[in-house]
Structure 1
């Protein structure tokens, strides 16, 4: 954590339940790179939500809620109840005249929790886990959303999930005022396409992919024997080699990594400063 009384305060909600991961460090690395590049004071704190039932209060300016393993049907668990108590409080703050507003980014497992909670689609276990660098298609003008400005259509992202959100409930989206921004690539065989990005409100946005995974980390993961085997089984040897090339392609994964979360931070920090 960095510490400065004048800093923009960021809460990182760790939903990995104590399992080893690179994601939390990935978020911290992006925050540090942003701090240096933009010469802005940022202070962040990590909260162990699932394992230790640690949650922040509503005094932070920005919230980033991570991915994580396991079943998103965790309503009976105490941390889940406290998690959505916080979400409700942030929604209420943003609906009030009080300023500045609180911006929240929900990633993967957090995306699934939100879709489960607000019944925006079918949350189910995939037949085969999805892992690798994948194409994501924008829908409904999603590429015009401030967080995705500058990306191509389709764009490339890191996917790593055993669960999925499919079959959007249009009525539930309308009731919430949410917008579907992106969906999973067409896999053929009439397979449902996963929801990949949703804007819940002006200040809450979510991705089912992982924008925090740096290209060098993804390359290491792709070279691991078990991941290599799984990718080749699904995409073939040629698909695996293409995926390795896409990791460092300036217009593909690298571009998404350098664009999505920095765009989110630009918007959130501008609001926090009253711009």
Structure 2
């Protein structure tokens, strides 16, 4: 008798706004399907921000996506209340320890919501938008974390955001047994605090500010579309546009991060849920 497949819930926070993130996540799940055995992952998408749907705790792994706009947009709205109740239910499930643990990865917008909910730091607007492929510096804890271990520091990541996490609440992070994994690029000429780019809050829950799903071929196709290219050049300048494309095409930049973070997250989730598959 065949074993049941590993179940993955994708919590889509894009609110049906056109995006590359969902495509890239689906492609990573397909590319790493062998981790779940011959039949691949069983994947279900929940459009939480659009229709309020949330998964239950029967899934082995959860990927909560990026999304447009303010991470405070859902404050007081039913969909956000459901999202936070789901988060509590997963924590409660893992705390009981009677079944296999559930693994959660929070990406960008979801990372900011995670920080808000757990009171891990301040979530505030950036002075200007971060837009491009940038270095992300690992902390000592990050360099030893299973998602980043062995990667050259700094890693490079797709970073498109108007918001940031600063002033981390170290006491709260310690209380949860967590650690800060990464900080944004060093800017010696800018007298501002560097934003937090990754936090692990438990063995099974981790969040990153950047987009680990971003794939060079897909991003190149997207940003070479004439309308998209014109918009980027108009808003950010031709030099920044050229530099971003060059980093997408260079395998020493984005590809390493794309090939490591989510595949490692999935491999760990499988190992925790179904060790016989490893």
Taking the aligned partners of 2:234 and 2:141, their CA distance within structure 1 comes to 36
Whether 2:44 is the aligned partner of 1:45: answer: yes
What is the deviation of 1:121? 1.0
Report the secondary structure of 1:186's partner residue.
coil
What is the deviation of 1:36? 4.8
Instruction: State the match for 1:90 in structure 2.
Output: 90
Whether 2:99 is the aligned partner of 1:99: answer: yes
Q: Deviations over 1:156-179 (max 9, x none)?
A: 000011111112111221222221
Taking the aligned partners of 1:140 and 1:228, their CA distance within structure 2 comes to 37
Structure-2-length-normalised TM-score: 0.91
Taking the aligned partners of 1:109 and 1:93, their CA distance within structure 2 comes to 24
Taking the aligned partners of 1:229 and 1:132, their CA distance within structure 2 comes to 15
Whether 2:172 is the aligned partner of 1:172: answer: yes
Instruction: State the match for 1:21 in structure 2.
Output: 19
1:139/1:181 contact within 8 Å kept: yes
Taking the aligned partners of 1:108 and 1:213, their CA distance within structure 2 comes to 12
Instruction: State the match for 1:219 in structure 2.
Output: 220
2:8/2:41 contact within 8 Å kept: yes
Q: Which runs of 5+ in 1 are unaligned?
A: none
Instruction: State the match for 1:31 in structure 2.
Output: 29
Q: Which runs of 5+ in 2 are unaligned?
A: none
Taking the aligned partners of 1:221 and 1:121, their CA distance within structure 2 comes to 33
Whether 2:160 is the aligned partner of 1:155: answer: no
Taking the aligned partners of 2:65 and 2:159, their CA distance within structure 1 comes to 14
What is the deviation of 1:9? 0.4
Distance 1:176 1:258, change over 3 A: same
Q: Deviations over 1:52-88 (max 9, x none)?
A: 0011111111000001012212230111111111111
Report the secondary structure of 1:141's partner residue.
helix
Taking the aligned partners of 2:47 and 2:55, their CA distance within structure 1 comes to 10
Report the secondary structure of 1:148's partner residue.
coil
Q: Deviations over 1:10-60 (max 9, x none)?
A: 000000112111111211110001115875521101111011001111111
Q: How many residues align?
A: 268
Whether 2:66 is the aligned partner of 1:67: answer: yes
Instruction: State the match for 1:254 in structure 2.
Output: 255
Distance 1:37 1:101, change over 3 A: closer
Instruction: State the match for 2:200 in structure 1.
Output: 199
Q: Which moved more, 1:37-46 or 1:253-262?
A: 37-46
Report the secondary structure of 2:79's partner residue.
helix
1:222/1:228 contact within 8 Å kept: no
Q: 1:10 aligns with which of 8, 14, 17?
A: 8
Q: Which moved more, 1:106-115 or 1:170-179?
A: 170-179
2:123/2:166 contact within 8 Å kept: yes
Instruction: State the match for 2:130 in structure 1.
Output: 130
Structure-1-length-normalised TM-score: 0.92
1:132/1:222 contact within 8 Å kept: no
Distance 1:37 1:230, change over 3 A: farther
Taking the aligned partners of 2:212 and 2:21, their CA distance within structure 1 comes to 9
1:100/1:274 contact within 8 Å kept: no
